[in-house]
Amino acid sequence: MTAYLLRGVSVVGAAPRDLLIRDGVIADGSADGAEIVDAAGLVALPGLVDLHTHLREPGREDAETVETGSRAAALGGYTAVFAMANTSPVADTAGVVEQVWRLGREAGLVDVQPIGAVTVGLAGKQLAELGAMATSAAGVRIFSDDGHCVADPRLMRRALEYVKAFDGIIAQHAEEPRLTEGAQMHEGEVSTRLGLTGWPAVAEEAIIARDVLLAEHVGSRLHVCHVSTAGSVEVLRQAKARGVRVTAEVTPHHLLLTDELAASYDPVYKVNPPLRTAADVQALREALVEGVIDIVATDHAPHAVEDKECEWAYARPGMVGLETALPVVLSVLGERWDLIAERMSRTPARIAGLTGHGTGLAVGDPANLTLVDPSARRVVDPAELASRSRNTPYAGTTLPGRIVATFLRGEPTVLDGKAVK
């Protein structure tokens, strides 16, 4: 195993020094035989951890596979991703989660941790085999029907009760389905102007409010996916102040883009939950800094051309995000490295109970890290993405920061900005 000496690297924004990687861990002592990496001007972050990725395998390998999604993740600076359960077949059994887990190991580019479905077939009728998935080789701890809301309150309560035994988490896609029937975009001034059916903020806020009460009642852990409104932030703030065991994520796109973009009718901007108003974006940014929103998660949602490049009404919701997440967050937060490490690596690893990731990069820690060039700027070119899908809303946009290298347990997965395998 090659050793690496990262010369003159700034670890999470601290003063430049040398960082030695040997035998898969951060090491000290002699750098004899180590390959020298000139890391002057580069910042080392603990490898990013994404709690919300759609890898599409099994079933839609034309849009993404575990391997192509893993490569996109590594290029984005990630060392671990959690794969959402809305595959085909749905990841609602030990068999499917073990398959995804094994494919992730085989690709060997990031640690792929499957998320299990809460309900059979994501149909919201009957609990999936949560226990069997938890005790499977994949060791599932997070369950989600993402793409769908667990709308039935009794089922949500049962799910929270069930996972409490092993300190599992229910990750909710908060969308009251009766309030979003036929919805095409955020309900507001722009939807009125365009004559498109709206997805009201209250459809998200009502479910979060209900679920924090259920989580409080049961004493179980709730995670709220892709929070998108200022009102949701207020619900979360109150719940956290009361000590409810709730965590929440925001996507890069909800931190940057607004519903005005829907006026282009370009389906690349169609996403669920939809892009909201500038006031929502501002509230989400503040909540992320404050910690009311705990983490950034990509909701990387690759879609094949025929599912995306069609009329707005028929296009699938979702955008790819793994390869642009850190640049977008950098553009939003600026070079607040400790905050970025906290929101994109340490806290997601802690929420998921993922050991070896999101560490302090101290001697002896597994060498899961990424090297960023903060002075570089990059124009996003969809053709250059490693993801099998091209549905990025940032095509032609200049974003700060370039991921130069990523290491998974001391082995480079990305070097010189290129995937190693």
> Could you give the 3-state DSSP secondary structure of residue 221?
strand
318 binds, among ligand DOR, Zn ion, none (CB under 5 to 8 A by kind): ligand DOR
Smaller CB separation from ligand DOR, 42 or 118? 118
Of 95-103, 316-324, 325-333, 397-405, which part binds ligand DOR (CB under 6 A)?
Answer: 316-324
The nearest distance, CB 52 to Zn ion, in angstroms, is 7
Smaller CB separation from ligand DOR, 267 or 318? 318
42 binds, among ligand DOR, Zn ion, none (CB under 5 to 8 A by kind): none
54 binds, among Zn ion, ligand DOR, none (CB under 5 to 8 A by kind): ligand DOR
What's the DSSP call for residue 366?
B
Question: Which tokens belong to 305?
Answer: 């051309």
Tell me the per-residue interface mask from 224 to 263 with Zn ion, x by CB under 5 A, - otherwise. -x--------------------------------------
CB proximity list for 369: less than 8 A, separation 6 or greater = 44, 45, 46, 47, 79, 361, 406, 407
Among 65, 113, 136, 272, binds ligand DOR (CB under 6 A): 272
For 238-295, give the DSSP string: HHHHTT--EEEEE-HHHHH--GGGGGGT-GGG--SSPP--HHHHHHHHHHHHHTSS-E
Tell me, yes or no, if 28 is annotated catalytic.
Answer: no
Q: Can residue 245 be called a binding residue for ligand DOR (CB under 6 A)?
A: no
The nearest distance, CB 19 to ligand DOR, in angstroms, is 37
Smaller CB separation from ligand DOR, 391 or 406? 391
Q: Can residue 223 be called a binding residue for Zn ion (CB under 5 A)?
A: no
The nearest distance, CB 250 to Zn ion, in angstroms, is 12
Give the nearest residue (CB) to ligand DOR: 318
Smaller CB separation from ligand DOR, 303 or 409? 303
Of 19-27, 37-45, 95-103, 311-319, which part binds ligand DOR (CB under 6 A)?
Answer: 311-319
For 38-101, give the DSSP string: E-TT-EEEEPEEEEEE---TTT-TTT--HHHHHHHHHHTTEEEEEEPS-SSS-S-SHHHHHHHH
Q: Can residue 390 be called a binding residue for ligand DOR (CB under 6 A)?
A: no
The nearest distance, CB 406 to ligand DOR, in angstroms, is 25
Smaller CB separation from Zn ion, 321 or 374? 321
Query: Would you say the C-alpha torsion 176, 179, 181, 185 has a positive or negative sign?
Result: negative
Q: Which of residues 136-165 bind ligand DOR (CB under 6 A)?
A: 146-147
Please tell me the count of residues contacting Zn ion according to CB under 5 A. Answer: 3
CB proximity list for 133: less than 8 A, separation 6 or greater = 91, 92, 93, 94, 97, 114, 116, 140, 143
Smaller CB separation from Zn ion, 222 or 369? 222
**How many Å apart are CA 146 and CA 157, to the nearest integer?**
17
Q: Judge contact between 93 and 85, C-beta under 8 A.
A: no
Q: Can residue 267 be called a binding residue for ligand DOR (CB under 6 A)?
A: no
Q: Can residue 54 be called a binding residue for ligand DOR (CB under 6 A)?
A: yes
Q: Could you give the maximum distance between any two Cα atoms of the chain, in Å?
A: 67
CB proximity list for 335: less than 8 A, separation 6 or greater = 13, 43, 374
Q: Where are the beta strands (DSSP E) in 316-410?
A: 369-379, 398-408
CB proximity list for 70: less than 8 A, separation 6 or greater = 55, 81, 104, 107, 108, 109, 110, 112
Cα radius of gyration (the chain):
20
Alpha-carbon separation of residue 351 from 14, 39, 217 (angstroms): 25, 31, 20
Q: Can residue 117 be called a binding residue for ligand DOR (CB under 6 A)?
A: no
**How many Å apart are CA 176 and CA 165, to the nearest integer?**
27
Q: Can residue 301 be called a binding residue for ligand DOR (CB under 6 A)?
A: yes
Tell me the per-residue interface mask from 159 to 198 with Zn ion, x by CB under 5 A, - otherwise. --------------x-------------------------
CB proximity list for 235: less than 8 A, separation 6 or greater = 205, 208, 209, 212
Catalytic residue among 299, 307, 365, 381: 299
Smaller CB separation from ligand DOR, 54 or 186? 54
Q: Can residue 173 be called a binding residue for ligand DOR (CB under 6 A)?
A: yes
Segment holding 143, helix H or strand E: strand 142-143
Q: Can residue 274 be called a binding residue for ligand DOR (CB under 6 A)?
A: no
358 binds, among ligand DOR, Zn ion, none (CB under 5 to 8 A by kind): none
Tell me which residues touch ligand DOR (CB under 6 A).
54, 86, 146-147, 173, 271-272, 301, 316-318
Active site (catalytic) residues: 299
Tell me which residues touch Zn ion (CB under 5 A).
146, 173, 225
